[in-house]
Structure 1
Amino acid sequence: MEQEQEREAPMAGLSLERPYKNDDGHPIPVLFDIAPDGVLHYESKQTPTQLLGSNLNRILHERGQDFFERLKDGALDSATVPSANLQEPAASPNDGVEPDNPGHIMTKDELFKLKTQILPQLFTAAGEMNLAKDLLSSILSIENAPSTSLPSILNSNLTSETAQTDSLPTLSASLVTKPPPIVSMQAFDTQVAIGGKDEALRKAAGLFRSAANRMERGRVQAEKYWVDALTIRRANWGLVPAPLPLGSPTGKGADRTSKDFMISYGLEESPPGYRGKALARIGYGGWENDSLVFPSRSNVRLRVSIGTPDASGNIIYSHNSLHAPPTDYKSSLDDLLKNAQREVIEDEIFSILVREAGTFPTASARVSERLVLIDVTQGMELKFELIDEVIFTLGTSISQHPLNQARSDFIYHYLLTLLLRRHAHAKGRRLGAVGSSHSSNPIPASSQTNLPILQPIIDQLQYQVFCLRIHAQLNIVRLALAATGIPAALRFDPVGEVGAQLIKIPVESEMRSLGGVSTLRVDNRHNLRLTMVSPSVLTAHLPQATISISSLPQLSELLSDEVERFFLERICEVGRRICKDMGGIWFVDLNRCVGRWEGCVLNFRLTFGENFKIMCTATRLSRSNPKHPIVETYKTSKVQQGLMNWVQSVLGAALTE
C-alpha cells in the first residue's frame, strides 16, 4: 500500500534539459550499477559505429528481418505492421506494474530500489552455495584417496590416465603442487631483487652524504658568520640586533631575542632616512655568497666638476679623482663598509646641495634629479652629479686641466668636512636644547639654523676669481709705472690667515670669511693698500679716506686717480727744484700741474690709454708768442726715456728761451 501511495503521489516535472556536463566541463557518464561497497559503475563508451550497429541489430531483432523490405516509398506500410496487442500480452490494469519501456533510463533511486530487492535473494543464494561447499569439503576430507602431483598427472600416458579416472570414486581430492621455477627466470628475479636493494642502499648513502655535507656547510657558515661579526666589531663598526623574522611571537613569555646582527655604517647625526639606508647584514648560507649584503645600496657616487672655457671658447670640465670601488668579494670587510658608507654620505651631501642650490643668492643654479649645475662666475661652472659605479672604471680624461682637477678634489673633501661640521652643530644644538630646558637662558636664534655647505664652496670659488681679477688689474698698473721709469712693487697676499686659522674655519660653528691684503708701492715712497674679503668685498685704504670698491671700473678709476696724483706731485717737486733760483711757482689744480715764472707758463696733464698706458701732455705759453702755445706729448710706447727725464727736458727747453 505504501508503494502504491508513493507511486500515485504526483511527481514534480522538470522541463529543464538533462545535464550532459559536470562543473568541470567533462561529459557525465551513464550510471550502470552500484556495488555493495558504494562504488559506482558506469556504462562503457561506444563509438558511433558500434552504436549504429547495435541499433540496426535491435531494429532487425524487434521488427523482423524483412523490416526494410516492408518499406513503401520510404515509409512503413501500416497494414503490414503487427498489432502491439498480438505481440505483447495485455497488462492487467490491477497488477500495479508498469509496462517495460526499452528506452527508459533508470535513475539512482530506481537502481537502489532494484538493488534492495535483489540483494536479499543474492545473499540467500550465496549462503546456500557456501553450505554446499562446506558439505563437499567435509565429504572429501573423509576419503583417504592417494595424492597425486601435477607433474605425474601431466607426464602420465593416456591409457594410465583413463584407468586411474575409472578407478577413482565420484568425489575425490587431489593435491596440486607448484612446478619448480625456470632457472633463467629465477636468476633474473634474483638479479632484480639484488639490483633493487643495491639502488636503495645507494640512495640511502646519498641521502646520508648530502645531509652530512649540509651539516658541515652549516657549521662552516655559522663559524664564518661569527668570525665576520667579531672582525666588524673590532673595526669599530656599529652592530645592532636585527629585527625578528616576520610572524615571530612577540607576546608575553615569547623569546624576543634576535639571533642575527645588522651593521649600521651611517653617520650618527644623519637624518633617519639615511640611517635606515645605511644598514647591512652578514651573508649566511643560501644564495648569499657575499660576505656582506646591502639591501638599500644605490651604487652611485658623487662627482665634482669645474668647467672653464678653453682658447676656442668651449667649456672643458675637470672632475675630481675617482677611486674605483672594490669589485672582488675577497676584499676586506672594512673596505666594503667604507665604500658603502662613502656612498651614503655622498647621497646625503647631494640632497643638501639640491636644497641649498635652489635658494642661493649670489649664483644661478639648475637642479635636476641627479645633477646640480651652478654658474659661479663668468667663465666658471661648478657641477655636482651622481653617477653609477661603472663610470669609475673609465679613468681620467687627458684633456682635464690639472689646476681645476686639484680644485675639484679640494671641493670634494671640503664638502665632507662641512657635512661633519653641520652634524656637530646639530648635535650641539640638540644637547643645548636639552640643557636650556632646565635653565632660563634661551638659545640664540643664529644657532638654531643648520649651517650651509654650499655657500662656503661658492664663496671660495668666487673669491678666487675675484682675487685673480684684482691681481691682474694691479699688475697692469705696476707694469705701466715700470714702463715710465718709476719703480713699483706689488705685494699680493689673497689669504691673510695662517695655517692654524685656516684649519679652524671649516670646523668652527660660526661661518668665517677669508681675507687678504694687497699693497702697491710706487717709487718706494707712496703706498696703495687694498683689503679683500670673500666672496667679493674690496676696500681701499687711502691717507684721506677708506673707500669700498664694488666693481673693477671703480677700481680702475681709483688707481688712475692715485697714479695721476702721484705723477703731478712728483712733477711739482721736480719743477720747484729746477726753478728754485728763478722764483717759480708750482701747484696742482684741476688734475693738472701748473708752473709759472717770469715770462713763461707751463702746464702738465696726464691721460691713460689702453692697458693703463700713461701719456703726458705739456703746454707752454711764452711772453714772446702768447697766442700760439707750444704742445709736447709723452707716450710710453714711442719714447724710450722715462717720464721724469722727459719732464726735465721740457723744463730745460722752457728755461733756455
Structure 2
Amino acid sequence: MEPGWKQTKLSLERPYKNDNGEAIPVLYDITSDGILHYEPKLRLRCLDGSLQTGVLPSVDAADKREDESQDTAFDEESNHTMTKDELYKLKMEVMPQLYIALGEMTLARDLLSSILASSNGLSTALPSILHSIAAPEPQIQQPESLPPLSATVVTKPPSIVSVQAFNAQLAIGGKDEALRKAAHLFKSVATRMERGRLQNERYWVDALKIRRGNWGLVPAPLPPGSAIGKGADKTSKDFIISYGLEESPPILRRSAIAHMSYGGSEEESLILPQRFNIRLRVSIGSPDASGNIVYSHNALEVSPEDHALSLDERLKDAQRAVIEQEIFSILVHEAGTFPTASARVSERLVLVDVTQGMELKFELVDAGIFSLGMSSTQNPVNQAKSDFIYHYLLTLLLRRHAYVKARRLGTDSSSSLSISSLDPSQANLPILQPVIDQLQYQIFCERIHSQLNVVKAALIAAGIPSTLRFNAVGEIGSELIKIPVDEEARPLSGVCTLRIDNRHNLRLTLVSPSALTAHLSQATISISSMPQLCELLSDEVERFFLERICDVGRRICNDMGAVWFVDLNRCVGRWEGCVLNFQITFGHKFKIICIATRLSRTDPKHPVVDTYDSSDAEKSLIDWVQHVLGNALNE
C-alpha cells in the first residue's frame, strides 16, 4: 500500500481558488509600502435584477424556428449574385441616407470646432450658428453677449513608478529585439549577396579557365517550358562542356558532357552526370617456369580524389575514361572477326590468343583497382609491352578519327551517304590488327633469332667461326613514327645475316607479322614454317661443310691425283687404292655429326668408319678431317 503523499495528484492547470475556496485575485503591483494592488471586480449591473429573481425571458420554439428560417433565407440571399439593375436600385436607396449622415457628421464637426475654439470671434458667432441651424426663419435679434465657452484638456493620470519602469523595460526590450532582428536580417541578406557574388565570380573564372584549356564550351539548352516564340529571349544563361572527341560515336559524345554549377563548394563547380568510372587495363599473359600463365598489366597513374584535382585535370580524367570506353567498343567489334588469331569476347573482357604461349587481354575495370598497386610477380618486360600497347591504341584511335574526318570532309555534299552509314571494316582503319601484328612479329623474330643462335653455337662448337647479325626492325626512327599515323598499313621489316667461316653468307629478310624470305645464291625462297627453316639451315650448313671438306681433300691429296666431288649429300674422294666418303648429319640442338667411311684395296669388304661428334670432340671438324685423311694416306 502506497503512502498518502505518493497518491497526491497535482494538476498542471493554473489554480483559481485558494485553500479556503476563495477566488485568487490577479495581482497587478506591490508598492514600496507593501500595499497589494489587485484587479478590480467588475460586474454587469443590467443582469442584477434578472439574475437575482431568477426570471429569464422565455423564447418560444416557433419563434426559434422562424428565426432559423429567416437566417437561412438571409444566407441564401447573401450568397446570391446581384444584377446591374439590383445594384442600381440599392444605390438609389442608400445614397440619400449616406448624404444625410454626411451632413450630420459635418455639422457635428463644425459644432465641436466652435466649442473648442479659443478666440472670442468664434465664441460670439456661436449663437448665430446655432440659431441658423435650429430655426431657418428670419434671424431674431439675440442678446448682445453670451458667456464664452472654453475647452478643457483632460490628461491621463500617470501610472505608478513600478508600472512605468515595467513599461519602459518592455519598450526597451521590444525595441532591442526588433533592432536585433533587423540587424540579423540585414546581415543574412548581405552574406547571401556576398556569397552570390563570389559564386558568380568563381563561375566566370572557371569558364575562362576551361576555355583557355581549349575545351568545348557551348551554351546549355533552354530549360523545359521556356518560351521559344519569335520575340522570346532565347539567350542561354549557363554553359556545358563537351569533352568528347570530335569523331567519336554520337552516343559517346552525348554522354561526354559536363555542367558548370553556380551553388556549392569549389569541388562541386563541375558536374559530370554520366562519367565512366572505369579504366581500360591491358594485360599480357605468358607462362612462367612452372607452366602457369602469369599476367602483367599496364601501369597507370592513380588519380587522387576529385576535390584535389583542378578543373583541367578532372576534365582530362573524364575524357580519358570516354576514350578508353570507345577503344574497348572498337576492340569488341574487331575481335569477333579477327582473321589471324582466336578471340573470346564478353561484356567487359576481350581475350586474344596471339601466339602459342602468349595471351593479350583487354578489360574494363573499376578505377579503384589501380589504387591497389602492381604485383611483384609481374614480368617487367610484359608490363612495358602492356604500357606500349595502351598508348599505341590511343595513337591508332587518333589515326582512325583523322581518317574518318578526312573522308567526311572530302565527301561530296550532295551525297547522302555518310561515313557512319558505311561498314566499319571498310570505312575505318583497324586498331587491333596493328597491335596483334607487332606482337606476332616480335614472337616470330624471337623464334628465328633463337634458331639462328642454335646454328651459330653448333658451328662454333665444330670449330667454324661464325657471326650472326640480327636486325628485327630495319626502319629508321622517322619511318617508325609514321607507321601509326599513315592511312596505309605499313608492316615492320628486318634482316638477319649468318656468316659462316668468314666466307659464306646466309641472308634472311623478315616482314610482319610472320613472313620470312631466304636469299640464297641460287634462288630466293619464301619460308612459311619453322621446320622448313630448319631444313633450309641444315641443307646450307651441310653444303658448306661438304664443300669445305672437298677443299681440304684437294689441298692435301693434290700430289696423288685424287678426285674430290660432292654427290647426293656426301663428299667423295678417290685416289689409287682408296675411296673416302664424308657424310654430315645433325642431332639435337643442331649438333653436327660427321661420318667418314674408308674403303681400301687391301680389304674392300670391311670399310673403316670414323665418327665425329661436335658435342664430345676436343678438336674442330676440319682438324678431324685432316686426321682422317692422314690415316688414309699412311696406309
TM-score by length of 1: 0.70
Alignment pair present for 1:116 and 2:69: yes
One-letter amino acid of the structure 2 residue matched with residue 115 of structure 1: E
Q: Which runs of 5+ in 1 are unaligned?
A: 1-105, 121-177, 439-443
Deviations 1:318-361 (A, max 9, x none): 22221122325253322222222111111111111111111111
- The verdict on how the C-alpha distance between 1:436 and 1:542 changes in structure 2, with shifts beyond 3 A counting, is farther
Determine the structure 2 residue equivalent to 1:608.
586
Output aligned runs, 1:196-345, within 5 Å: 196-286=174-264, 289-345=267-323
Identity of aligned residues (%): 72
Structure 1, residues 174-218: CA drift from partner, whole Å, max 9, x if none?
xxxx99988767766665565455434433332222121111100
2-side partners of 1:457 and 1:202: how far apart? 74
Q: Deviations over 1:58-105 (max 9, x none)?
A: xxxxxxxxxxxxxxxxxxxxxxxxxxxxxxxxxxxxxxxxxxxxxxxx
8 A contact 1:429–1:448 mirrored in 2: no
Partner of 2:385: 407
Question: Aligned runs of 1:36-435 on 2, under 5 Å?
Answer: 115-116=68-69, 191=169, 194-286=172-264, 289-434=267-412
**Alpha-carbon deviation of 1:537?**
0.9
TM-aligned CA deviation for residue 257 of structure 1 = 0.9
1:255-306 CA distances to partner (integer Å, 9 max, x unpaired)? 0111111112221111112221221122311477423211111121112121
Q: Provide the rounded CA distance (Å) in 2 between the counterparts of 1:387 and 1:300.
A: 5
Question: For the structure 1 residues 263 and 445, does the alpha-carbon distance in structure 2 shift closer, same or farther, using more than 3 Å as the test?
Answer: closer
1:631 aligns with 2:609: yes
Q: Is the 8 A contact 1:482 1:488 kept in 2?
A: yes
Can you list the C-alpha shifts for 1:561-616, whole angstroms capped at 9, x where unaligned? 11111111111111122222222121111111111111111111111110000000
Q: Distance in 1 between matches of 2:409 and 2:468?
A: 50
**TM, length-normalised to structure 2:** 0.72
Quote the offset at 1:627 in angstroms.
Answer: 0.8
Query: How far apart in 1 are the matches of 2:485 and 2:471?
Result: 23
Counterparts of 1:298 and 1:273 in 2: how far apart (Å)?
Answer: 13
Q: Distance in 2 between matches of 1:205 and 1:463?
A: 80
What does residue 523 of structure 1 align with?
501
Taking a change above 3 Å as real, the CA distance of residues 235 and 622 of structure 1, as seen in their structure-2 partners, is same
Which digits, 9 at most, give the CA deviation of each residue in 1:498-521, with x for residues without a partner?
111101100101111001011111
In the TM superposition, residue 118 of structure 1 has moved relative to its aligned partner by 10
What SS is found at the alignment partner of 1:581? helix
SS in 2 for 1:434: coil
Label 1:111 to 1:522 Cα distance change in 2 as closer, same or farther (>3 A).
Answer: farther
Kept in 2: contact 1:291–1:329 (CA 8 A): no
d(CA) in 2 for partners of 1:465 and 1:112? 113
Q: Taking structure 1 as reference, are residues 283 and 116 closer, same or farther at Cα in structure 2, changes over 3 Å only?
A: closer
Aligned to 1:485: 463
Quickly say closer, same or farther: Cα 1:346–1:112, change in 2 above 3 A: farther
Which residue in the other structure is 1:643 paired with?
621
Paired letter, 2:69: T
Provide the C-alpha distance between the structure 2 equivalents of 1:537 and 1:551, rounded to a whole number of angstroms.
Answer: 9
Structure 2 equivalent of residue 559 of structure 1 = 537
Partner residue in 1 for 2:520: 542
Answer whether contact 1:283 1:289 (CA < 8 A) is retained.
Answer: no
Give the counterpart of 1:586 among 564, 578, 593.
564
Structure 1 ranges of 4+ moved more than 3 A = 110-114, 116-120, 178-201, 286-289, 435-438, 444-448
In structure 1, how many angstroms separate the alpha carbons of the residues matched to 2:406 and 2:69? 97
Q: Secondary structure at the match of 1:322?
A: coil
Task: Give 1:394 deviation, angstroms.
Answer: 1.9
Give the direction of change, closer, same or farther, for the CA distance of 1:602–1:292 in structure 2 (3 Å limit): same
Deviation of the 1:635 alpha carbon: 0.6
- Count, aligned residues: 489
2-side partners of 1:224 and 1:571: how far apart?
90
Give me the whole-angstrom Cα distance separating, in 2, the residues matched to 1:263 and 1:584.
Answer: 92
- Aligned partner of 1:168 in structure 2 is none
- How far does the alpha carbon of each residue in 1:352-406 deviate from its partner, in whole angstroms, 9 at most, with x for none? 1111111111112222222222121111111212222222322222222221121
C-alpha spacing 1:558/1:219, structure 2 compared with 1 (3 Å): same
Q: CA deviation at 1:485?
A: 0.7
Question: Given residue 327 of structure 1, which amino acid in structure 2 is its aligned partner?
Answer: E
- The Cα offsets for residues 142-178 of structure 1, whole Å up to 9 and x where unpaired, read as xxxxxxxxxxxxxxxxxxxxxxxxxxxxxxxxxxxx9
How far apart, CA to CA, are the structure 1 residues paired with 2:72 and 2:369? 89
* 2-structure distance, mates of 1:437, 1:114: 91
> How far apart are 1:240 and its partner, in Å?
0.6
* Residue aligned with 1:531, SS: strand
- Do the aligned residues in 2 keep the contact of 1:429 with 1:447 (CA within 8 Å)? no
Structure 1 pair 119/549, CA: closer, same or farther in 2 (3 Å)? closer
